[in-house]
Structure 1
Amino acid sequence: MRGRLTAGTMLVALLTNLALAGCGAELPAAVDGELTDDWAKVAQVKGYEPVVGACYGATPKDTGGRADSVVDCKPTHYAETVHVGRFTFDHKPGPKERAAAFRDCDKQANAYIGRPWGDGKFFLTLTVPTDPAWDGGARWYRCDVTESTTVFGESRWTTRIGTLKDGISADALLRCGKAVQKSGRIQDILNVPCTMAHNTEYVGTFRAGDLVAYPKSERQWDVLHRECRKLVGTYLGSQSAAGRFGLISSPNGLRSWSEGDRSVRCLIWFGGKTTKKSAKGSKGRGLPGY
């Protein structure tokens, strides 16, 4: 804003001098009469550009950048930028463009962390320029990862320490859990050590295709269950054993799905029975219901 005011004041001053000069004699030969050709070029004001690896003291939201609270990653922080991409068009991104950007975020976040971000209690957020920033020429998008108290129930953002480049801390990884049920429905899954009694275990995450509908009917849920069943088999080390157990398919919700987050977390589920060991590589032997 100050730059525009300064330029405006300069222009008024020059026009005043021109009016005064017009009242005098002809211009000297050394004066060409062109006012602007000798002006120094004014440097273009550089807008905010996000940086990969930056951490923030607040949760992600669409931004112009100036008010973002960038902090050191070593102390506590809420979010970390794992990738920065660019839109290649001038119209503001709609649902399809945002979904495509999220797909890029998904891939790049996994590469940045060194494993699927869904393996932890994390959410991936697409952060884009605010309307004023977009109108000012900003075309970047940010991919931010935040940690939460849970990814299966009512979650709350939580601070973390250190960069995700160093890996996911053990307490943030999804492993074994206790399913909390109410009226026959799973409300949440509490992380517990695998040596404690548990009735679920996280086996992996997959990304559903862009044309896959958010599950509302049994048939639509079956599309996700089939993919989760494959991950259960891989985790057990036996695809044939996978069919002996229940499973949980957990997308991040309708709103996240519509914005391009097609991640689905998969868990093996023992129903009302529990075990005190990990199912990984067991081929199902020794597990409840085998």
Structure 2
Amino acid sequence: MSPVPHHLRTLAALLAVATLCLAGCGDQSAPAADEKAPELGACRVLTPEDVAKPSNDTDSVACSEDHTAETYAVGDLPADLHDADYDSAELGSWAYETCSERFMDFLGADDSLVMRTVLSWAWFRPSEAAWDDGARWYRCDVVGGGEQSKDYVQLPTTAKGLLLGLPKDRWMVCAEGATVSGSVKVPCTETHDWRAVTTISLDSLGKDYPGDRLVEVKTRDFCSSSVGAWLNYPVDYDYGYTWFRQAEWEAGNRRSVCWAKTPK
């Protein structure tokens, strides 16, 4: 896990496919491909490189085939955002809140569990060209990995309800490396050194960002005790934690993650 939440981390959009009209053509040209709202439930093969870009025009595939992404929410942006700048913080905050809530509902998970899954989400807008032409839809995709994933894992035919009950280790996030910070995040079925085991909500610190130092201290103190409890209070144990800074706080993230060192 990185200082950017797995699921936030992705302000992506669909690429316009412009249709040019030569001299002598009719008055009307075909609409850009992403001026139409995307399809709910569509599956795609996305990579970390795809979701890191501001736009994407990857074709959908049958959900019975191999895929790494599934669209779980689509719709029109609210009217009060129609005049927002394409990359405005206001638009990003709205997308974070909307996609996060629907991500939890779709997977059947609470705030804590979604911070400890290898799955994340990405949100998509029309391309800048389509935006300039008036397109105002959004799309939220569940993807099989986070920002520090080298590759995305394959998803089942549908990810709906995937985290209900006791999730399988293949959907939970672990880390491979000497420390949690900056380590490669992998499914817990793969070789790993750390497991994300608990989280702490920092809502009690107030609406305004309280500063890096206070967030880190609160996280560290909680993780020290909660990881010890999770390990059944051994005499000796190692723990780590990841916490998020002001930009993510202002976008709506208020949780830090506690990691337990796992035996080889």
Match of 1:47 among 11, 28, 35: 35
158-167 or 222-231, which deviates more: 222-231
Q: Deviations for 1:115-156, whole angstroms, at most 9, x for unmatched residues?
A: 1433321222121221111122211121122113xx595633
Q: Deviations for 1:261-282, whole angstroms, at most 9, x for unmatched residues?
A: 7375623435xxx559xxxxxx
Do residues 174 (structure 1) and 172 (structure 2) align? yes
CA deviation after TM superposition for structure 1 residue 246, in Å: 4.9
Indicate the residue corresponding to 1:91 in structure 2: 84
Q: Deviations for 1:204-260, whole angstroms, at most 9, x for unmatched residues?
A: 456665743784xx4431243356568658x7499xx69x86542225x77983893
Q: Deviations for 1:12-37, whole angstroms, at most 9, x for unmatched residues?
A: xxxxxxxxxxxxxxxxxxxxxxxxxx
Q: TM-score, normalized by length of structure 2?
A: 0.62
**Structure 1 counterpart of 2:170, one-letter code:** A
Do residues 141 (structure 1) and 134 (structure 2) align? no
Do residues 222 (structure 1) and 217 (structure 2) align? yes
Q: Please give the secondary structure, in 2, of the residue aligned with 1:109.
A: helix
Indicate the residue corresponding to 1:284 in structure 2: none
Do residues 76 (structure 1) and 66 (structure 2) align? yes
Listed as ranges, the gaps of 5+ residues in structure 2 are 1-18
Q: TM-score, normalized by length of structure 1?
A: 0.57
Q: Please give the secondary structure, in 2, of the residue aligned with 1:249.
A: strand
CA deviation after TM superposition for structure 1 residue 190, in Å: 5.6
Indicate the residue corresponding to 2:16 in structure 1: none
160-169 or 75-84, which deviates more: 160-169
Structure-2 change in CA distance of 1:171 and 1:201 (3 Å): closer
**Distance in structure 1 (CA, Å) of the matches to 2:196 and 2:91:** 31
Do residues 266 (structure 1) and 253 (structure 2) align? no
Conserved 8 A contact 1:83-1:143: yes
Match of 1:156 among 147, 151, 157: 151
Structure-2 change in CA distance of 1:54 and 1:173 (3 Å): same
Conserved 8 A contact 1:249-1:264: no
Q: Give the percent of matched residue pairs that are identical in Structure 1 and Structure 2.
A: 19
Conserved 8 A contact 2:84-2:90: no
Structure-2 change in CA distance of 1:166 and 1:106 (3 Å): closer
Structure 1 residue ranges, 4+ long, deviating more than 6 angstroms after superposition: 253-256
Q: Deviations for 1:87-139, whole angstroms, at most 9, x for unmatched residues?
A: 42323240232122112111110101111433321222121221111122211
Q: Please give the secondary structure, in 2, of the residue aligned with 1:157.
A: coil
What is the root-mean-square deviation in Å for CA atoms of aligned residues?
Answer: 4.5
- Aligned pair count reads 222
Q: Which has the larger radius of gyration?
A: 1
